[in-house]
Amino acid sequence: MKNVPFKGIIAYPITPFDQNEKVDITLFKKLVERLIVSGIHGIAPLGSTGVMPYLSDEEKEAITEASIQQTKGRVPTLVGVSNLTTEKTVHHARFAEKAGADAVMIIPMSYWKLTDDEIVAHYDAVARKISIPIMAYNNPATSGVDMSPALLKRLLEISNVTMIKESTGDIQRMHYLRKELGEETAFYNGSNPLALAAFTAGARGWCTAAPNLIPELTIELYHAIEEGNLEKAKDVFYQQFDLLKFIVSKGLPRAVKAGLNILGEEGGNLRSPLQPLTEKDTEELKNIIKTVLN
């Protein structure tokens, strides 16, 4: 198998802001530490939960450095480095590698629809400038680009593109990847409501914001899968299913921050134009969390 540093539950920390909408690095480190001590298997800053597109280059670099400083090698770090241009993506990928990241994650962001050849050239250009592994992230709901299984297969031909994260919600794609690319293909689930199905389809890990709120349950699900205890896995998964659906449907940054507050943890503020959950949604989330944890 190619270099694949991740297995298990890979948690997405939120990027907290202060009352002036400035990134709160001190709180960010605290939230990362909270995830690490919960027992998760990896950290993935600057993803959808970390509102990466809403950050300046300098803020992304500050978050990258803070992540490496806080993890201190206790768990591997997967840094999101995506950008509209190849030049900026290369810049952030090289910065992450120099800072000590174990791998980078790239989603093809675009305004104009990219062709398959353009996407392959984009990943290849980044891969030529760094030596650490790359996770190709497919999430058409946020990027507007849907990378077909055939395209993902082409990307895996690039030497240090070693991992695929699938967030389309189409479990058949994961089965296809295993069938077409072999048992050694390292793919990861990015669709929270499909976590159980993805693991049973052979996913190596689950990239998720859920550990911010229910770390024990996400880890317990993974351990049940590892033990081959499918009945236990089903019970644990459906215990958290309503919460997984809610945080996705309401927007991960909003829902996670509200959930942290409900749990008595400081979650910081959002950056405009994002706004907090409505009172109605917050009350619904409070009831869901109460049910899940009881």
Q: Hey, which residues are catalytic here?
A: 137, 165
DSSP H helical ranges for the chain: 25-38, 57-71, 86-99, 116-127, 140-143, 149-155, 171-181, 195-200, 215-227, 230-249, 252-262, 279-293
Q: What's the rounded Cα separation, in Å, for the pair 24 and 270?
A: 11
DSSP H helical ranges for 115-202: 116-127, 140-143, 149-155, 171-181, 195-200
Q: Does residue 265 contact residue 23 with C-beta atoms inside 8 Å?
A: no
Phi (first) and psi of residue 38, to 5 degrees: -70, -20
Q: Does residue 289 contact residue 262 with C-beta atoms inside 8 Å?
A: yes
> Could you count the other beta carbons within 10 Å of the beta carbon of residue 55?
18
Cβ within 8 Å of residue 291, ≥6 positions away: 242
Quote the distance between the C-alpha of residue 188 and its chain's center: 10
Task: Report helix, strand or coil for 17.
Answer: strand
49 is in an annotated binding site: yes
Q: What's the rounded Cα separation, in Å, for the pair 198 and 205?
A: 9
Token code pair at residue 247: 């945080």
Phi (first) and psi of residue 251, to 5 degrees: 95, 120
Output the known binding site for pyruvate: 49
